[in-house]
Amino acid sequence: MGESLSTSCYRREELSAGQRIFGPALVIEPASTILIPPHYQATVDHYGIIHITE
C-alpha cells in the first residue's frame, strides 16, 4: 500500500510574497487544498499566485 509522510500544512491567507514551501506540504483555503508533492517546492509571487516546481 501507500507510504505515510509527515506533511506540513499552511493556511493560504497567511502566505506572503516570496515565501517558499518545500513538499510534501498542503496549502489549505476554504474552497480548495493544494498539494505540493515530495521533492517539489512552491513559491508565492507578489500577486499571491503559488508556483510549484520540481
The pLDDT tens digits for 6-52 are 999 999 999 999 999 999 999 999 999 999 999 999 999 999 999 99
pLDDT tier at 3, thresholds 50, 70, 90: confident
- Report pLDDT for 25: 98
Please report the beta strands in the chain, taking only residues with DSSP state E, as ranges in sequence order. 8-11, 20-22, 25-29, 32-36, 41-44, 50-53
Q: What is the CA radius of gyration of the chain?
A: 11
CB 26 within 8 A of CB 45: no
pLDDT of amino acid 5: 86
pLDDT of residue 7: 95
